[in-house]
A = this chain, B = another copy of it.
Amino acid sequence: MKVRLLEERIRKDGKILPGDILKIDSFLNHQIDVKLLDSIGEEFHEQFKNCGANKILTIESSGIAIATSASRYFNFIPVVFAKKTVAANMAKGAYEAKEHSYTRNIEYTVQVSREYLGENDKVLILDDFLANGEAMHALIDICDQAGAKVVGCGSVVCKTYQPGEKRIKDMGYDVKVLARVSSMSDDGSIEFE
- Residues of A bordering B, CB below 8 Å: 25-26, 30-35, 37-38, 60-61, 64-65, 67-69, 71-72, 76-81, 83, 86, 89, 104, 112-113, 115-116
Provide the bound-state CA to CA distance between A11 and B192, in Å: 50
Inter-subunit contact A76/B116 (CB<8 Å): no
What residues on B are CB-neighbors of A60 within 8 Å?
Answer: 60-61
Among residues of B, the one whose C-beta sits closest to the C-beta of A55 is B31
Inter-subunit contact B68/A32 (CB<8 Å): yes
Question: Which of B26, B33, B69, B78 sits near A31, CB closer than 8 Å?
Answer: B78
Contact A79/B34 with A61-B64, A64-B64 known, Cβ cut-off 8 Å: yes
Inter-subunit contact B113/A81 (CB<8 Å): no
Provide the bound-state CA to CA distance between A65 and B64, in Å: 6
Provide the bound-state CA to CA distance between A35 and B89, in Å: 29
Provide the bound-state CA to CA distance between A86 and B69, in Å: 29
Contact A30/B68 with A60-B60, A60-B61, A76-B35 known, Cβ cut-off 8 Å: no
Q: How far is the CB of A54 from chain B (nearest CB, A)?
A: 12
What residues on B are CB-neighbors of A72 within 8 Å?
Answer: 34, 38
Provide the bound-state CA to CA distance between A67 and B83, in Å: 19
Among residues of B, the one whose C-beta sits closest to the C-beta of A69 is B68
What residues on B are CB-neighbors of A30 within 8 Å?
Answer: 80-81, 83, 112-113, 116
